[in-house]
């Protein structure tokens, strides 16, 4: 939130949904934000603009 990056948590369990609202009772320090920023290596796990890849992913069955 402090960095202006929107995250959309997903849960169907009431307890987890309530826990997701718990982000407003603390703030990260500048040092903590810097440490988090250093974790971003700009890696991508997939090119989501690759139409053929998306077609293949859509064919996979989730178990």
Q: pLDDT above 90 covers what percent of the chain?
A: 11
- Residue 20 — very low, low, confident or very high, per pLDDT cuts 50/70/90? confident
Among the listed residues 5, 11, 15, 12, the one whose alpha carbon sits nearest the alpha carbon of residue 36: 5
Kindly report, residue by residue over 42-57, the tens digit of the pLDDT. Answer: 777 778 788 988 888 8
Quote the mean pLDDT of the chain: 83
Q: What is the pTM of this model?
A: 0.46
DSSP single-letter state for residue 2? T
Give me the pLDDT at residue 63, please.
57
Three-state secondary-structure class, residue 22: helix
């Amino acid at each position: 939130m402090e960095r202006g990056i929107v995250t959309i948590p997903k849960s169907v369990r009431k307890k987890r949904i309530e826990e997701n609202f718990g982000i407003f009772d603390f703030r990260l320090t500048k040092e903590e934000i810097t440490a988090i920023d250093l974790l971003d290596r700009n890696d991508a796990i997939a090119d989501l603009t690759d139409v053929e890849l998306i077609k293949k992913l859509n064919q996979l069955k989730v178990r």
